[in-house]
Chains A and B, each alone.
Chain A
Amino acid sequence: MAPPRTYRCESIILSYTPLDEADLLVTMYTRDRGKVRAIGKGARRATSKLMGHLEPLTVVQMSMANGRSMDIISQAEVLQSFSELKGDLDGISKGLYLAELVDGFGAEDSPNPNLYQLMIDTLTVLQADTESDMPLRFFEFHLLQVSGLMPELYHCVECRIELEPDAHRFSPNVGGTLCLECNPEDAHLRPLSLRALKVLRLLDRSGIAAASKLTMDDSLASELKSLLSTTVSYWLGKEIRSNSFLERLHKDSLPEVYK
């Protein structure tokens, strides 16, 4: 029996690009099919029934038709628009950062419901507090986990000795934390403070709601941000472009003396 020509899927829109006269090429991450690229026919026309339903960071129930080279969006219904998040510049920039990471880590025809749920949960928490960076750190850490790239935090990745409560070193290249005795030649090796290790372990054990309430000083926040975004970028194999806009907004928000 021939496979059905249409299907429905719940998805979150990651991005789109204009195509031809009035179409959109939409990239979305679906709960059941992984990353999907599909065409919204006529979606750029003001009177299109798809208009407004295909904006990035929107959860949409899609009806799709199998196309010859790419699927066609036949209907779209917004399930969650995250409108408060989109009403704030920091919220938008953080949301688009998540979208870029999901686009990079998500694969076509390779469903990962945990990654889908992680994105929805993170956007939900971000919507309630767009100023906090902790939801981003939680997302980066668990993005590695649901992608099978979870860094080792409890034993040295070289000698397998249990890590003492002390400062250590970290490298995404070797898969996590190293004790001070092991010295592999590794350009990605970096120091890891005890405080940062504790926060990473907390991220491992906590849910997003609890992790997002964590407050920390600027130096620890900066160490974690650098470590996690470098690790994510390492596995992605390229620079995360939306990161530079996030950095720009952060710098703009600092008092003049810190710029």
Chain B
Amino acid sequence: MTQENISGAAPSLARLVQELNRLPGIGPKSAQRLAYYIIRLPDDEAYALADAVTSVKQNIVFCEECQNLTDASPCQICSDPRRDQTIICVVEDPLDVLAMERTRSFRGLYHVLHGVISPINGIGPDQLRLKELFSRLDRPEVTEMVVATNPTLEGEATAMYIRRHQGRTDLRITHLARGLPVGGSLEYTDETTLTKAFQGRQEI
């Protein structure tokens, strides 16, 4: 959407609509609605939103250890001495760290790849934070790597690439269990997931 498309709108409003329209999942109509919502906000709330955007762009850096987004490097998780330093969980995106932390069942460290190998989209190993991962895996205190990429074709390809290219022979490499989601239905489950669910069956 160009500013010329928003006929009759003030230039500053047209600019806001245009910028909001760049956000993922925000179409032209949604951008207009959000822009008018922001205009109607009380001044302090609108400035707080603008300040939050400015602040996040100025302060967020990559953690030198896990490559997650953080205000200070190393991040809170990496600098927490209570975390298990021997196990690293490899995830695709920072949002995956949040999802894992919500479970409170993992007390080790993370490594964020910031994507997956996607040959069709021209994303190869060099575009991911793999060099940093392999360097961390060289530390003798690390005894296990949990590859928690998504169970998609590209996630699996990335997991296989990591397993093939990491240099340790004594490292335990695991991935998250595959199977049925809570609330799912056997009838609609694909054969690959069902096969893996059978392979990973447990005593009750």
Select which of A78, A86, A248 is within 8 A of B190 by beta carbon. Answer: A78
Chain B's closest residue to A252 (CB) is: B165
Chain B's closest residue to A81 (CB) is: B192
Select which of B124, B160, B191 is within 8 A of A248 by beta carbon. Answer: B124
Contact status A55-B152, CB under 8 Å:
yes
Q: Which of B81-89, B115-123, B134-142 contacts A (4 or more CB under 8 A)?
A: B115-123
Contact status B119-A96, CB under 8 Å:
yes
Contact status A52-B189, CB under 8 Å:
yes
Contact status B156-A78, CB under 8 Å:
no
In the assembled complex, the Cα of A21 lies from the Cα of B160 at a distance in Å of 28
In the assembled complex, the Cα of A252 lies from the Cα of B164 at a distance in Å of 10
Q: Which residues of A contact B184 (CB under 8 A)?
A: 46-47, 51
Contact status B160-A92, CB under 8 Å:
yes
**Extra 20 A-B pairs, beta carbons < 8 Å, given A47-B183, A242-B119:** A20-B25, A47-B184, A49-B188, A52-B193, A55-B152, A56-B153, A78-B190, A78-B192, A83-B191, A83-B192, A83-B195, A86-B156, A89-B164, A92-B156, A96-B119, A96-B120, A97-B119, A244-B119, A245-B117, A248-B125
Chain A's closest residue to B27 (CB) is: A20
In the assembled complex, the Cα of A247 lies from the Cα of B117 at a distance in Å of 14
> Is A246 in the interface zone, CB < 8 Å from B?
yes
Q: Quick one: which of B52-97 are within 8 Å of A by CB?
A: none
> Is A137 in the interface zone, CB < 8 Å from B?
no
Q: Which 5 A-B pairs have the closest CB atoms?
A: A52-B190, A242-B119, A49-B188, A245-B119, A46-B181
The count of chain A contact residues (Cβ–Cβ below 8 Å) is 32
Contact status A78-B191, CB under 8 Å:
yes
Contact status B192-A52, CB under 8 Å:
yes
A100-B120, A245-B117, A245-B124 in contact; A89/B190 too (CB < 8 A)? no
> Is A99 in the interface zone, CB < 8 Å from B?
yes
Chain A's closest residue to B164 (CB) is: A89
The count of chain B contact residues (Cβ–Cβ below 8 Å) is 28
> Is B185 in the interface zone, CB < 8 Å from A?
yes
> Is B198 in the interface zone, CB < 8 Å from A?
no
Contact status B190-A57, CB under 8 Å:
no
> Is B157 in the interface zone, CB < 8 Å from A?
yes
Q: Which residues of A contact B25 (CB under 8 A)?
A: 20-21
In the assembled complex, the Cα of A15 lies from the Cα of B121 at a distance in Å of 10
Q: Which residues of A contact B119 (CB under 8 A)?
A: 93, 96-97, 100, 241-242, 244-246
> Is A53 in the interface zone, CB < 8 Å from B?
yes
> Is B106 in the interface zone, CB < 8 Å from A?
no
Chain A's closest residue to B159 (CB) is: A89
Chain B's closest residue to A246 (CB) is: B119
Contact status B188-A15, CB under 8 Å:
no
> Is B36 in the interface zone, CB < 8 Å from A?
no
Contact status A86-B122, CB under 8 Å:
no
> Is B47 in the interface zone, CB < 8 Å from A?
no
A47-B181, A55-B153 in contact; A241/B122 too (CB < 8 A)? yes
Q: Quick one: which of A91-138 are within 8 Å of B by CB?
A: 92-93, 96-97, 99-100, 103
Contact status B164-A15, CB under 8 Å:
no
Q: Quick one: which of A213-241 are within 8 Å of B by CB?
A: 241
Chain B's closest residue to A18 (CB) is: B24
In the assembled complex, the Cα of A252 lies from the Cα of B183 at a distance in Å of 42
Select which of A51, A57, A78 is within 8 A of B153 by beta carbon. Answer: A57
In the assembled complex, the Cα of A80 lies from the Cα of B108 at a distance in Å of 38
Q: Which residues of B contact A89 (CB under 8 A)?
A: 157, 160-161, 164
Q: Which residues of B contact A53 (CB under 8 A)?
A: 190
Q: Which residues of B contact A15 (CB under 8 A)?
A: 120
> 22 interchain pairs (CB within 8 A)?
A15-B120, A20-B25, A21-B25, A46-B182, A51-B181, A51-B190, A51-B193, A52-B189, A52-B190, A52-B193, A78-B191, A78-B192, A81-B191, A86-B192, A89-B161, A93-B157, A96-B153, A241-B119, A244-B124, A245-B119, A245-B124, A248-B125
